Structures are given as structure tokens and as C-alpha cells.
Amino acid sequence: MDHSPAADAPILFFDSGLGGLSVLGPTRALLPTAPIVYAADYAGLPYGAKSNEELAARVPALLGRLVERYQPRLAVIACNTASTIALTHVRAALDLPIVGTVPAIKPAAEMTKSGVIGVLGTAATVRQPYVDDLGARFAGGKTVLRHGSPDLVTAAEAKLNDQPFDTATAAEQAIAGLRNQSGGAAIDVIVLACTHFPLLLGELQAAAGPGVQLIDGSAGIARRIAHLTEGQAWPAEALPGVAVFTRSPDRPPPPLAALAPYGIGSIETI
């Protein structure tokens, strides 16, 4: 009996907000006709301010609803905070392949010349023992400095929603949060450990300077998705994707024009 998914079964991308677009972009480049459902939990944003217990309960429950509604072939938790806290809970709860997002500490450790790596994430991500474990496994003998920046999430959301926000200052303050730590002046690679942050790549690179390389895990996640779906049927041509937002009283969905470059053609709320 053939259990392979139907050609129109989508890939579900899930994030607290718009950060997962930085993962959707490279995935569309590899799988140009893949049907897409992009889900943003605006009712729960920002995840970085939530407790581990809240997220461990919220994320699997919400993903369960989304899987039931959209019947995806695979789900991507395109959010470092949700992945580091809730990935094992989601995999236990749902019977489909789940791809998580982990800070790109391993490639950063291979790239650094100075031996000092910066990890920029949300407050929730940078405090996780999971990040300690990645550092111990892949960056032994290197110095790993971390900084949590909730303002960068706000800045990225504002940028895509076409709202006024001093994104340059937010980037400068975030980079300073790493540099001002003991040994921080020697940082030559910075891991963007939040999917929102690559949306501010220009601002962060300007703040970090030309001698610092910025790295994130989005290309590796896209390759993982392509590998897991290898040999599966896809539509002959790309259809407009759907973006779905959890209802928030004070945060309406962004304009469709902000999502259209990522292949999104309609917006729904749940």
C-alpha cells in the first residue's frame, strides 16, 4: 500500500511570527512547486518572554490543530525558541515528520579563526541547556558568548509590517550585548539563533562590521526538508501559499504585500 503523500499535501512552517520566512525562502528555492502553509502564532508572540512550561504545552497543541486542518506532509518548527523547548513534545504528539531549528553552533565552530563565537537569540533560547550541550559537543575549546535580544524580534516584525522602528539601533545594541562581554572583542562569527534575525541581516552586518561572519541555519534546514521529501510527488507548478495567523487583539496580520515575495497568496486567521 502506498503511503506517500498526495502531490498537493503542503509543507507546514510554524513560528511565533514572521521569522520563519527566513527558512521558507531557501526551502522554496530548493522545492519551487511545494505547496506551503505558513503559520504564525501572533496570539503568543513573543515566545522569548514565555516560560518553558507554557511553550511545551502551547506549541504541540497549536501544531495539532494546524496539522488536523491542513494535513501537511511535514511540519517545520521554524523557530529556535519553540524547537529548543517543545520539539520532543511535538514529536511525541504528532505522527508526521517534524523538522526543528537549532542554533548553527557546529558550522560556526568550524568557521571561527579567533576561537570566540557569539550566539544571538531570544532570552528563552540563549538560557537553554540545549545550547550548552551544542557548545560542549561542537565547540569544545572555543569560547561561546550569548546574548538575548527581544528588541530584534520586534524590529524584524516592524520591518516586515512596514511599521516605524529604529532597526539599526536595535542591531547595534544587540551586537554590543555580545561585544561588551569578557572576550567579546575577539568574536569573528555570530550565530543568528532566532529565525527572525536573518530578516535584519543588513542591519546586523553593518553593526558587526566586515570582519565578522554572520551565520544561521536556514540553508541547512531547507536541505533537510528536501532530503526528507525526496522522491515525493509535487504539483507541476507552484500555487500561492497560505499564511495563517492566530488571532491577536492588538496585532493584526501583516499586509499581504509583505508575504507575497515568499509565495504567499492569501491570509487566514484562526
Half-sphere exposure (Cβ direction) of 63: Cα atoms closer than 13 Å: 36
For 33-104, list the strands marked E by DSSP. 36-40, 74-77, 98-99
Q: Are strands 241-245 and 213-215 parallel, antiparallel or unpaired?
A: unpaired
The active-site residue out of 55, 59, 145, 194 is 194
The torsion defined by the Cα of 167, 170, 172 and 175, in degrees rounded to 10, comes to: -120
The active-site residue out of 79, 116, 212, 264 is 79
The torsion defined by the Cα of 104, 110, 114 and 116, in degrees rounded to 10, comes to: 30
Measured in degrees and rounded to the nearest 5, phi and psi for residue 67 equal: -65, -40
In the annotation, is 79 catalytic? yes
One-letter amino acid of 27:
T
In the annotation, is 176 catalytic? no
Helix or strand (DSSP H, E) at 53:
helix 52-70
Beta partners for 117? 144, 189
Residues with catalytic annotation? 79, 194
